[in-house]
């Protein structure tokens, strides 16, 4: 059974810092991995999707890497801003396009 | 123009009642999903449908019955509501679900269900 773990559970940083969010999964038989952002009381916004054959994806200040063999992914956020404050969710995709989510990392960027 | 929409946004009801949540997507996708986010914010899949056919049923109590009248709609009907059903329910869609690759999922805004 696939299990996804995200570390840390919460993170508070001053504006401008670069930061790394970690995601690990137990079963490497995945099709892809998605990083989402969830603002309080809102839905999920897809940030980056990495296919299982890829090693990383970049979008603006975000960079996500995937090491399928070791069951790890990281989300790197450069030059963090207060508007980045949200919960970041990692999800792996297996058979049937089923997403298995981690519990999330709550990020607070202080101005 | 909203891609995946859900109604209602909030739903407050009493134990034992029956309620429905509606989901519509205008992306032309074939596959739709229901996820539940519990009080600890943990998201878990409940069902998925492809072109009106059930693909995934994650051992959800049979009080929950998804219905897909057409591939653009996937409604969730809940019978005999219990306190533990209180959660946020998210609908999502993807272009397809086929084996051998994956398809990006797009989420609706969620429906917060409170059972009193």
Query: A34: which chain B residues are within 8 Å (Cβ-Cβ)?
Result: 104-105
Judged by CB atoms within 8 Å, which residues 43-82 of B form the interface with A?
43-45, 48, 55-56
The token duo for B89 is 């329910």
| Contact between residue B93 and residue B105 where contact means Cβ atoms under 8 Å apart | yes
* pLDDT (average), residues A2-21: 96
CB contact under 8 A, B31 and A97: yes
Q: Residue B60 has what pLDDT?
A: 87
CB A35 within 8 Å of CB A94: no
pLDDT tens digits for range A25-49: 999 888 889 999 999 888 899 999 9
User: What separation in angstroms does the CA of B116 have from each of A105, B17, B43, B110?
Assistant: 30, 10, 22, 19
Residue A86: both structure tokens together: 């949200």
**Nearest CA of chain A to the CA of B36: how many Å?**
11
b vs e for B67-81, b when ≥16 Cβ sit within 10 Å of the residue's Cβ? ebeebbbbbbebeeb
Chain A residues whose CB is inside 8 A of the B32 CB are none
Candidate ranges A52-61, A78-87, A90-99; pick with highest mean pLDDT = A78-87
pLDDT at B70 over 60: yes
Instruction: Judge: A42–B109 Cβ closer than 8 Å, yes or no.
Output: yes
Mean pLDDT of A43-67: 93
pLDDT band at B113 (very low <50, low <70, confident <90, very high): very high
pLDDT tens-digit map of B87-112: 999 999 998 886 656 688 899 999 99
What residue has token string 């999800």?
Answer: A91
Q: For the segment B1-15, what is each residue's pLDDT rounded down to a tens digit?
A: 669 999 999 999 999
Looking at residue B41, its pLDDT comes to 80
Taking CB atoms and an 8 Å cutoff, what residues of chain A touch B38? none
Residue of A nearest to B87 (CA): A41
Q: Which residues of A touch B (CB under 8 A)?
A: 31-32, 34, 36, 42-46, 49, 51-52, 87, 89, 91, 93, 95-101, 103-104
Nearest Cα of chain B lies from the Cα of A46 at a distance, in angstroms, of 7
How confident is the model over A89-105, as pLDDT tens digits?
Answer: 999 988 778 899 999 99
Please state, rounded to an integer, the average pLDDT across all residues of chain A. Answer: 93
């Amino acid at each position: 059974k696939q299990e996804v773990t995200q570390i840390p559970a919460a993170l508070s940083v001053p504006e401008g810092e670069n930061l790394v969010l970690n995601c690990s999964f137990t079963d490497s038989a995945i099709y892809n991995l998605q990083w989402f952002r969830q603002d309080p009381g809102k839905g999920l916004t897809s940030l980056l999707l990495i296919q299982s054959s890829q090693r990383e994806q970049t979008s603006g200040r975000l960079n996500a890497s995937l090491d399928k063999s070791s069951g790890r992914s990281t989300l790197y956020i450069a030059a963090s801003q207060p508007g980045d404050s949200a919960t970041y969710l990692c999800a792996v995709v297996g058979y049937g396009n089923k997403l298995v989510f981690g519990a999330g990392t709550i990020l607070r960027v202080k101005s | 123009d909203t891609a995946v929409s859900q109604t209602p946004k909030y739903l407050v009801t009493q134990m034992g009642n029956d309620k429905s949540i509606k989901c519509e997507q205008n992306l032309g996708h074939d596959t739709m999903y229901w996820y539940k986010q519990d009080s600890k914010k943990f998201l878990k899949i409940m069902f998925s449908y492809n072109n009106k056919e059930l693909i995934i049923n994650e051992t959800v109590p049979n009080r929950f019955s998804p219905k897909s009248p057409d591939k653009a709609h996937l409604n969730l009907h809940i019978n005999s509501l219990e306190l533990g059903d209180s959660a946020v329910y998210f609908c999502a869609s993807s272009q397809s679900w086929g084996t051998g690759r994956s398809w990006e999922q797009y989420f609706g805004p969620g429906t917060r269900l409170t059972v009193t």
